[in-house]
Amino acid sequence: MIVQLARATLITVGALGGFEVSQQIDWSVQTGLSEGYVIFVFIILGASIGYVLGGILGRELTTAYRNVQRRLSELEAPTLLLGAAGFVSGLLVAYFLSSSLLSYIERPQWLGFLATILLYIFCAYAGVTLFMLPSRDVSVRWSTSSASPVDDRPPKLLDTSAIIDARFAELARLGLLEGPLRVPRFVLVELQTLADSADDTRRARGRRGLDLLTALSAGETKVLVIESDFPEIPTVDAKLVRLALATGGTLVTVDYNLTKVARVEGASVFNVSEAAEALRPVLLPGDELHIVIVKEGKEAGQGVGYLGDGTMVVVADGSSMIGAEVGAEVTSVLQTSAGRMVFARLKEDS
């Protein structure tokens, strides 16, 4: 449609231009042809040029129109409103500036006219750009809040590691994760990429996360997907931090490095591993415990066992008791970034 319209316009303009050219010189004297024939030739020539240029211009305008249409369809309602407000504001500023600008540029008139056009274009573009700077954060808040019209509490934003870990679901069921659970679309894409991986371990982790989300969508613990994205940010972790800052939500993760980075940038973070570590029973030197020795330790004579919460217990002189449940006395507790490690010795009566 745009191509046909452009061709019709330029054919008309070309035909009129050809007629005007035929009237500028007495072509009958120059060529020996009749006046009517010369006018006909110039009209046909101008219309032909308009047809060719109209096709080129029409195709370019069609491509530009489709790009603009696609871009507008990707924008949220707040972004469009802010862009429109910026456009109108820019035109108003250009109107007031142009009245004073034309008083300085009176001659030649074409220069003042050109300067006015450029001023309007610049102010309109600047207005749209400035007004749309905060639009990303506004649209993120819009999409996050519209996904949960009833619950106005800050959302809990799940990252890939938390979904694969799956402990967040039980914490939410127990009420330890207050607020609606949300999964950004880019996290879901990363899970799908993992599920399609050629590596068996990565594929199993990705499918586990997708299976968990599928099960939760049909249960009481609802997890909704939000469409917010930041195309200019390359990594998923950085997008999550930006999303948490934009929405005021809490990032739920088990990633130690992501936790540190998010806290440095001022985002709220709930680390599932830290919560699990805080809920483990406190062991002090002198406490007694019973544990099954499952393997030898790194040092000679050491035996290794595990508490019910996964805490590793290294028992001195316990290598000969593999497979047996022994009584042990705690000698020291070592806290590391990976968790807690307990050192103990065999009780004399075990």
Q: Tokens in use for 244? A: 């948490």
What is the structure's pLDDT at 122? 81
Residue 25 has pLDDT above 80, yes or no: no
Residue 204 has pLDDT above 50, yes or no: yes
Residue 139 has pLDDT above 60, yes or no: no
What is the structure's pLDDT at 103? 57
Residue 123 has pLDDT above 60, yes or no: yes
Q: Tokens in use for 93? A: 């500023």
Measured CA to CA, the distance from residue 55 to residue 198 in angstroms comes to: 48
- Whether 57 contacts 51, CB under 8 Å: no
What is the structure's pLDDT at 142? 44
Q: What is the pTM of this model?
A: 0.48
Q: How confident is the model at residue 148 (pLDDT cuts 50, 70, 90)?
A: very low
What is the structure's pLDDT at 138? 46
Q: State the maximum Cα–Cα separation within the chain, in Å, rounded to a whole number.
A: 131
Neighbour-count burial for 75-107, b at 16+ CB within 10 Å, e otherwise: ebebbeebbeebbebbeebbeeebeeeeeeeee
Measured CA to CA, the distance from residue 306 to residue 299 in angstroms comes to: 17
Q: How confident is the model at residue 67 (pLDDT cuts 50, 70, 90)?
A: confident
Q: Which range has the worst mean pLDDT, 131-140, 209-218, 277-286, 300-309?
A: 131-140
Residue 34 has pLDDT above 80, yes or no: no
Q: How many helices (H) and strands (E) does the chain have?
A: 13, 11
Mean pLDDT over 158-173 rounds to 84
Residue 80 has pLDDT above 80, yes or no: no
Q: What is the mean pLDDT of the chain?
A: 78
More confident residue, 115 or 156: 156
Place of tokens 């590391």: 336
Q: Which range has the worst mean pLDDT, 94-103, 143-152, 227-236?
A: 143-152
Return all residues near 187 (Cβ < 8 A) that are at least 6 apart: 158, 159, 160, 163, 236, 240
Return all residues near 305 (Cβ < 8 A) that are at least 6 apart: 291, 292, 293, 294, 312, 313, 315, 318
Closest CA to 143 of 106, 185, 100: 185
* DSSP symbol at 25: S
Q: How confident is the model at residue 77 (pLDDT cuts 50, 70, 90)?
A: low
Measured CA to CA, the distance from residue 142 to residue 78 in angstroms comes to: 8
Measured CA to CA, the distance from residue 62 to residue 67 in angstroms comes to: 9
Measured CA to CA, the distance from residue 32 to residue 196 in angstroms comes to: 78
Q: Tokens in use for 165? A: 């870990």
